[in-house]
Amino acid sequence: MKKVTLLTLAFFVSLSASAFADQIAKGQTASCDNAKAITVEVAKVEPATDAKNFGHTSNDRGTASLVVWKSSNFTTVPLTLGPNDSNATFVGADHGLTGIEQRGENGRAKVVLTHQPEFSRGDSIGDISGLVKITNTGVIPVTVSCN
């Protein structure tokens, strides 16, 4: 009886300590429970570059839209990854009329949420302890890895 109990306990410990990665499509949800870090990465989708479709494509220019729900403080936080978005195109095209300097850095394709137990602000990512659910609200697939 002791061997069965010991083996069962070892099995559950290995499951709870193991990390997993899951790709989620529009409307799907991935969950992480007591993760030390959560990596969220958008799938690489090339944006439409022709003048007719620029900014109005069915693939949302490769931008991922997500909602992160945390059980630690029962908050929901929006998260957007836009690896193809850059202000250089729009600021450069206006020939300086907006007065905004051209920076040219694209958005991020990947973000890592880390465990911050001392973080107390309830409306931000903060502490990811407990159950964290990430729902894809956009059209681009996203990979979620719980570590």
pLDDT tens track for 7-65: 444 444 444 444 467 899 999 999 999 999 999 999 887 666 666 665 556 666 778 99
Choices 3.30.465, 1.10.10, 3.40.50, 2.60.290: CATH for 19-146: 2.60.290
Mean pLDDT value across the chain: 76
- When pLDDT is cut at 50, 70 and 90, the band that residue 145 belongs to is very high
| Domain edges within the chain | 19-146
φ, ψ for residue 96, nearest 5 deg: 85, 10
Is the whole-model pTM more than 0.75?
no
Look up residue 79 and give its two tokens: 């998260």
Residue 44 confidence (pLDDT): 83
Residue 66 has pLDDT above 50, yes or no: yes
Burial code of 96-134, b = ≥16 C-beta within 10 A, e = fewer? eeeeeeeeeeebebeeebeeeeeeeeeeebbbbbeebbb
